């Protein structure tokens, strides 16, 4: 009897065994959000809580760059690149999916937009970020933005106030594999790699 061969490293036909939960990751999902950034007002530790969306948690913060600091902001991106090269786990406490930094000018000088998607809630992310900057000694890029508190290392309330005042809530979020945590994605990729290695041994 002929046996069908499996192409080397082909894992395309391997289907997920785990059953999707309440938030079904097997079906892409989109969520339209009111301009307030939430559906029902529920206060957390520092203010209104924002919902978990198909893209998990996140925010977009926009603030004006202090005069003469645009290049410093750009250079700080290189600092983060080097920090991650030196220690790939340096940002692990933030439970990030991705960061996107943008500099743009709307006619009144350069503005900085910080976009992040992560697995913790809004306030927990900020608490973890401040703790991380203090622990590593990496000065935050936000010191180059107007309105950032000078005592940010000891005044978490002021930091969170800055973020909430400069947060621009999204009104639509989409997830191709909704509600999946970064750690779950990495586990799935490790499993895929293990299957690929197993298939290699079967050739």
* Domain of residue 153, residue span: 29-202
* Burial class of 57 by CB neighbour count within 10 A (0 to 12, 13 to 18, 19+): buried
Task: Please check whether residue 17 lies inside any domain of the structure.
Answer: no
Predicted local distance difference test score (pLDDT) of residue 118:
96
Higher pLDDT, 88 or 4: 88
Is 12 within the bounds of a domain?
Answer: no
Q: Among 170, 176, 177, which residue's Cα sits nearest to residue 33?
A: 170
Mean pLDDT throughout 167-193?
92
**Mean pLDDT across 164-169:** 94
| 17, two tokens | 């065994």
Asked if residue 90 is part of any domain, the answer here is yes
- The confidence score (pLDDT) of residue 74 equals 96
pTM for the structure as a whole: 0.80
Evaluate whether residue 15 is within a structural domain: no
How many domains are there within the chain?
1
């Amino acid at each position: 009897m002929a046996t069908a061969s499996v192409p080397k490293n082909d894992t395309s036909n391997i289907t997920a065994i785990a059953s999707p939960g309440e938030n079904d990751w097997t079906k892409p999902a989109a969520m339209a959000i009111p301009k307030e950034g939430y559906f029902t007002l529920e206060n957390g530790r520092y203010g209104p809580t924002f919902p978990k969306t198909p893209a998990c948690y996140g925010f977009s913060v926009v603030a004006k760059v202090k005069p003469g600091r645009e290049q410093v902001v750009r250079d700080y991106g290189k600092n983060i690149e080097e920090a991650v090269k030196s220690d790939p786990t340096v940002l692990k406490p933030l439970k990030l999916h991705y960061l996107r930094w943008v500099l743009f000018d709307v006619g009144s000088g350069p503005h900085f937009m910080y976009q992040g998607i992560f697995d913790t809630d809004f306030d927990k992310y900020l608490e973890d970020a401040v703790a991380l900057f203090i622990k590593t000694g990496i000065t935050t890029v936000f010191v180059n933005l107007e309105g950032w508190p000078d005592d940010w290392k000891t005044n978490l309330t002021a930091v969170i106030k800055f973020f909430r005042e400069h947060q621009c809530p999204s009104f639509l979020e989409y997830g191709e594999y909704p509600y999946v945590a970064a750690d779950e994605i990495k586990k799935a990729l490790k499993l895929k790699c293990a299957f690929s290695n197993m298939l290699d041994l079967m050739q």
